[in-house]
Structure 1
Amino acid sequence: MVDMRPMLATHTDSVPTGDAWAHEVKWDGWRVIAEVRGGAVRLFSRSERDVTSSFPELQGLVLPDLVLDGEIVALDEAGIPSLHALADRISGPAKTQRPGRAAPRPVTVMLFDVLALDGHEVIDQPWHRRRELLDALAPSLEHDKWLVPEVYADGRMLLDVTRERGLEGVVSKRRSSPYRPGQRSPHWLKRPHRRTRSVVVGGWRPETGSRDRLGAVLVGTPGPDGRLRLLGRVGSGLAGRAGDELLAHLRDLACPDRPFDDVPRIDAELATWVRPEVVIDVESLGLAGQGRLRQPSYRGLRPDLVPADTLATDIPEEDSDA
């Protein structure tokens, strides 16, 4: 049976050069493993959760039985992925699915690897061979729903282009690398333009002058005992609809006890504690003193992840102030 955990990339500050490496666009979406059997597609999130029912438009692939690795993205008119547009596709609370709400934006799966073909695993084959298999499948895909993006030889050029276009960054892959499910590999390197990490919400504070609008969330990562280590307060990026939708996910999780090891009084004041179940992505300038996020900004919900997945970050705990 194929291991459905995706292989993960390691953060790098510089894009590698040389013929040993190939380079791809880093897409801003949700990672999935797609299992195709008899035209039926099953989708599994990074936490191995079956999310097939959330994406009915991705059914009906006329392909041999195989297992694929890719990223689900919701593209805007300019072809730029929007993480916010994916927010309600997996287990959105009933109150966010209100009448009159706009239909979910169509999604596309950006495919970048093959794990199995015709019942045979290919994860021990080098990346360049698995890529040849993927390229051979590309003509059979529905190109508005399933795409095989290009691979580039010049990673530094791609880094400049993705920055100019507002894309997330670059992933560099050693051409000889096997696929190792569930492992963070030094043979896949990611160079994002912004530092992003997934964190768990443990509480929220109201907007100044209002008890019913979200002003900020308190976030952290779980320790061995399940309690959260505080990473700070996130308020930027929560204005308007983004804050309303996040608060809809948090209201029913209210609890009397704070889930953090320790919270300064200035942060705890007026806070409503919640069960540590909701995962979000935040953007920041790394970690500052006392291990707090520097200038964090909310980017979107991550219902495809569970709290334990936030421990699998490769952002150093001691980031510089640069």
Structure 2
Amino acid sequence: MRPMLATHGDHVPPGEEWAHEVKWDGMRILADSAAYGDRGRYRLTSRNENDVTSAWPDVAEGLREMRGLRRRDLLVDGEIISLNDAGLPDFRVLQERMHVRRATSVQRLVTTVPVTFMVFDLLRLDGDDLTREPLATRRARLAEVLEGSPWQVPASYDDGAMLLEATRQQGLEGIVSKRLSSPYRPGERSPHWLKFAHRFRVSYVVGGWRPQEGTTDRLASLLVGEMTSDGPVFRGRVGSGVGPRQSRALAEAVAGLTRAASPFVDEVPRVDASGTTWIEPVLVVDVESHGRGLSRLRQPSYQGVRTDLTPDDLIPPRPTSEDP
């Protein structure tokens, strides 16, 4: 079974017929007990119906010690999340575990990269297909069934506009608004589920550029960093938004700034460093991306050069003795 998907919304719907949830930056998972009987273990499948059970034993066996749930037949929909150093859900943290299958490596990662399974829908319970039931009914039964379990049922809110603003201030990915009367349509992208993702615009320092594939001089992407008192910390590669006109302007801006080595104070991944022309970290650009406080920009888009800013302007102020 494939999970039900949300469509992009243009405004958060008001009214009592809608509920609103945090949009988690994680990996979508269906957990099904039918594959293993009543032993408290679950088969986990990804959005593309791939069996990923072996990568997440802490999720797959999360209910083993709960005797009541061990004997129950469940099919649930949710998101596996892991937190970054800023305490925010970050899909990139999960990537360290997603493709690992060797048992010894997986067990090590269970400790070093802990995860939480956020369960937001109940599709089957004790043999009863609940997909035709309204969301309000499914959510109520889900909260009752998983009460006290290590799997978490995220909160649902009736004020979508408030939640959208709160998630923006906290640097979260966004929200999903769901019609309480909606059934669950496996594999469909439904207008009864609407998603709203935040985009954040931030200034970064450019530390290098890469040419378009097959060329040596057509600037196609920038390597950018977050400025600190020690120098720029690498935050990713930005190619979206760099069209022909922007490419020509940026090529002029970086002319004469070439240097032999990376200006970033941390190590740049080989996949990004390969083919890069390093430059002195003096050029500031604006970048729009999903999420905030991430170790690497997600879906970044180039917005323009900031001639009014210098790298020193981007260094966060040091806390004073009066700061709490």
Tell me if both proteins adopt one fold, taking TM over 0.5 as the criterion: yes
Cα deviation 1:86-130 (Å, max 9, x = unaligned): 111122599xx8xx9996310001110011111221101111010
Q: Tell me if 1:114 matches 2:111.
A: no
Distance 1:57 1:101 in 2: 10
Shift of 1:84: 2.0
| 2:55 and 2:101 in contact (8 A); partners too | no
Q: Tell me if 1:130 matches 2:138.
A: yes
Distance 1:22 1:51 in 2: 30
After the TM superposition, which segments of 4 or more aligned residues of structure 1 sit over 6 Å from their partners?
A: 239-242
Amino acid at match of 2:178: K
Of the two, which has the highest radius of gyration? 2
What corresponds to 2:158 in structure 1? 153
What corresponds to 1:52 in structure 2? 53
Shift of 1:243: 5.1
What corresponds to 1:185 in structure 2? 190
| Structure 1 segment 1-322 matched on structure 2, within 5 A | 3=1, 5-36=2-33, 37-38=37-38, 39-58=40-59, 59-61=61-63, 62=66, 63=69, 64-76=72-84, 79-92=87-100, 104-142=112-150, 146-194=151-199, 233=221, 235-236=223-224, 237-238=235-236, 244=269, 282-285=298-301
Amino acid at match of 2:173: E
Percent identity reads 45
- Aligned pair count reads 219
| 1:217 and 1:234 in contact (8 A); partners too | no
CA RMSD of aligned residues (A): 3.5
Q: TM-score, normalised by structure 1?
A: 0.59
Give the 3 Å change call, closer, same or farther, for CA 138–216 of structure 1 in structure 2: farther
Amino acid at match of 1:116: R
Distance 1:57 1:217 in 2: 43
| 2:97 and 2:109 in contact (8 A); partners too | no
| 1:73 and 1:81 in contact (8 A); partners too | yes
Give the 3 Å change call, closer, same or farther, for CA 282–85 of structure 1 in structure 2: closer
Distance 1:242 1:92 in 2: 23
Q: TM-score, normalised by structure 2?
A: 0.59
Cα deviation 1:41-90 (Å, max 9, x = unaligned): 11111111111111111214132111100010002466421222111112
Give the 3 Å change call, closer, same or farther, for CA 53–154 of structure 1 in structure 2: same
SS at match of 2:163: helix
What corresponds to 1:320 in structure 2? none
* Structure 2 gaps, min length 5: 201-206, 214-219, 225-234, 237-263, 275-295, 305-324
What corresponds to 2:290 in structure 1? none
